[in-house]
Chain A
Amino acid sequence: MTERRRETAEEASSKPDSTNDQLLVVRGLKVHFPIKHGILFDRTVGAVQAVDGVDLDVPRGRTFGLVGESGCGKSTLGRAILRLVEPTAGNVRFDGVDVASLQGEKLRSMRRRMQMVFQDPLASLNPRQSVETIISEPLRAHGIEYSKKNRVREVLDLVGLPASAATRFPHEFSGGQRQRIGIARAVALEPELIIADEPVSALDVSIQAQIINLLEELQERLGLTYLVIAHDLAVVRHISEEIAVMYLGGIVEQTDSEQLYLTPRHPYTIALMSAVPVPDPAIEDHRQRILLSGDLPSPANPPSGCRFHTRCPYRQETRCDTERPELRLISPGHRVACHYAEEIVAGTVTPKVDAALPV
């Protein structure tokens, strides 16, 4: 098992764009929530396009980060992959199996292989169940043979909780400990993929590092693949090898974490990165901060063409407001959804003066 995992990890690093070592492949995923109106009979008058055409490849054994501001659809994307919300269109292939078309018992047994860690650890734990029940119930549901006492103790130990935690209830723990319980419940089923939806944003900063370290350690020991959803750039950068940036239901840029932070190419990512302080006064003094004007447009009525053109400092007269840019490869392992990505790199397209303010 570990041998095979190591092999695939090597493969992954040698040829990053090959598709046969991808654990999760998402193509054209859309999640639209209908907006209904009417007194007696509901008419569908529109749709909130929470996720609108997302392609994603998550390599086995790696950590894939998904960032974006709140309301951009990143959580919905995570839930649609797990079929916790029904996708409107597109397909999700997990280890070669089309998850989006699975039904009933097949879907249920598939769930064992992909788990989720939630943002609010207290809300995601049933307040009336003891930790022992919380951890052992999924095992029972999947008919996994186990010795209850031993397995629960084993999993608790794995996440750094004492065996005495088993008889206690979620409200008796601190936030960090609760998140450990949530993680224990997820790893008890020995999944291959864990989707972590803002796993640390509800926690104290001092606890965040502990949980992130725990996730990394578990990945090493259990060969897990992570899809980490977060709005905190520092968190995502720290744990992810590959990062996708999401804006208003679509992915605007995807590359490995080093490239994303050193050479962001999409105007939205450039603006995001310009907001991150640099711990070097010499650079910090000359740092240009790009302030985005306006709010995130409504996903019920997204802008035409490029979703970002209403707030983009690099906006051009043509194409931006009429043609939606595809996510395309601009350099090895670097995908950007911008018509003028090359021109921005070359410096022939520059941000509007009023958008760039000296700090």
Chain B
Amino acid sequence: MTMAPPLMSPSDPMLGVDPEHGTSLWRGAWRRLRRNPVAILGALLVLAFVLIAVFASALAPYAANSREWASEVTLTSVPGPREGNLLGIDRYGSDLYSQLLYGARQSLIIGVVSTLLGLVVGAMLGILAGGLGAKVDMVVMRIVDILLSIPSLLLAVSIVAVLGQNRYAVMIAIASAQVPVFARLLRGTMLSQARSDYVLAATSLGLRRRTIVMGHVLPNSLGPTIVQATLNLSTAVIEVAALSFLGLGESDPAVAEWGRMLVAAQDRFASSPQLALWPGLAIAVSALGFTLLGEALREALDPKGRR
């Protein structure tokens, strides 16, 4: 073929990167993510949160809810920071620092599991609605609309009330508030992707509908949903605390819980503000980590950011 023009001219900016393999969109996003300081900060916060949760028993100087210093707690005051107790003693007589470390475990497990649950169920509904045609779409989206019309905390409270007070109920409660968000988001992206030229091309090539939905439409629609899942992790961490603050969280008193620590701090807030400060800060910082990571992910996956 003599009429072929010179290809891949040396001025091609992508040439220098990797002569053997092209750069897929995911790989490009990963490269942008690694260069983004916001992403690094978010990742570090999340990493610290995860490490603390996993290694809480090794990091914490004392057991959770040991109540070793219960005799020192009086009606009006608790012992503050001192030798051996870095952050002082909580109102039940346990080491506040150890409680805080163990609390990360609860927030992380419930937060991650409930978000994953919400993501999986929501994504399945979204794929059904976005991939199976107008009638299925109509039915699924009306169900989702009903779910969405109930305020999320109210929904969570009712689910815990029905299922009883345990961590699984909390997970289901938080997840069910997230399902409609993921379902709508994924459906919307899939429907808009389904109108694009490459889907038309796939149809004209004679690909099966299943291949088109799962192999073309879905992979191109996942970006916003993944971003939303990361952002939702922060909401979930806050909701875990909110539910236990309302007394609907973990029922086992031996388990350390940031939300419950806030409740306990309430009546001594004036004399011992550190009791509320530290768990509050822990909730805020861990949520911030997920938010920063999610925002950076959004930037990295945004097709407009592609050069």
Q: Which of B19, B26, B204, B208 counts the most chain A CB atoms within 10 A?
A: B204
CB of A138 closer than 8 Å to a CB of B: yes
CB of B22 closer than 8 Å to a CB of A: yes
Q: How far is the CB of B90 from chain A (nearest CB, A)?
A: 51
List of A residues within 8 angstroms of B21 by Cβ: 167-168
Bound Cα distance from A44 to B13, whole angstroms: 52
Count contacts on B: residues with CB < 8 A to the other chain: 35
Of the candidate stretches A169-177, A229-237, A253-261, A334-342, the one touching chain B is A169-177
Q: Which of B19, B26, B198 counts the most chain A CB atoms within 10 A?
A: B198
CB interface residues, A 182-239, toward B, < 8 Å: 182, 185, 189, 210, 213-214, 217
Q: How far is the CB of A108 from chain B (nearest CB, A)?
A: 5
Bound Cα distance from A3 to B287, whole angstroms: 72
CB of B75 closer than 8 Å to a CB of A: no
Q: Are B200 and A169 in contact, CB atoms less than 8 angstroms apart?
A: no
Count contacts on A: residues with CB < 8 A to the other chain: 46
Q: Are A214 and B211 in contact, CB atoms less than 8 angstroms apart?
A: no
CB interface residues, B 59-97, toward A, < 8 Å: none
CB of A26 closer than 8 Å to a CB of B: no
Bound Cα distance from A214 to B5, whole angstroms: 11
Beyond A124-B197, A160-B3, A160-B4, is A138–B207 a contact (Cβ under 8 Å)?
A: yes
Bound Cα distance from A141 to B202, whole angstroms: 10
Among residues of A, the one whose C-beta sits closest to the C-beta of B9 is A174
Q: Are A141 and B7 in contact, CB atoms less than 8 angstroms apart?
A: no
Q: Are B205 and A167 in contact, CB atoms less than 8 angstroms apart?
A: no
CB of B149 closer than 8 Å to a CB of A: no
Beyond A141-B211, A172-B23, is A126–B206 a contact (Cβ under 8 Å)?
A: no
Among residues of A, the one whose C-beta sits closest to the C-beta of B205 is A138
Beyond A138-B207, A141-B207, is A162–B7 a contact (Cβ under 8 Å)?
A: yes
Beyond A125-B201, A177-B7, is A108–B208 a contact (Cβ under 8 Å)?
A: yes
CB of A115 closer than 8 Å to a CB of B: yes
Bound Cα distance from A156 to B307, whole angstroms: 26
CB of A283 closer than 8 Å to a CB of B: no
Q: Are A210 and B3 in contact, CB atoms less than 8 angstroms apart?
A: yes
Beyond A167-B20, A167-B21, is A161–B205 a contact (Cβ under 8 Å)?
A: no
Interface string of B206-218 (1 = CB under 8 A from A): 1110010001100
CB of A137 closer than 8 Å to a CB of B: yes
Q: Are B220 and A128 in contact, CB atoms less than 8 angstroms apart?
A: yes
CB of B1 closer than 8 Å to a CB of A: yes
Beyond A130-B24, A162-B8, A169-B25, is A141–B204 a contact (Cβ under 8 Å)?
A: no
Bound Cα distance from A108 to B209, whole angstroms: 10
CB interface residues, A 297-323, toward B, < 8 Å: none
Interface string of B229-253 (1 = CB under 8 A from A): 0000000000000000000000000
CB interface residues, B 281-307, toward A, < 8 Å: 303, 306
Beyond A84-B200, A160-B5, is A130–B22 a contact (Cβ under 8 Å)?
A: yes
Q: Which of B24, B200, B205, B215 counts the most chain A CB atoms within 10 A?
A: B205
List of B residues within 8 angstroms of A115 by Cβ: 204-205
Interface string of B1-35 (1 = CB under 8 A from A): 10111011000101000011111111000000000
Beyond the given A141-B205, A160-B7, could you list 7 further A-B residue pairs with CB under 8 A, ordered by the A residue number? A84-B203, A116-B204, A124-B201, A125-B198, A126-B216, A127-B220, A141-B211
Residues of B within 8 A of A (CB): 1, 3-5, 7-8, 12, 14, 19-26, 196-198, 200-208, 211, 215-216, 219-220, 303, 306
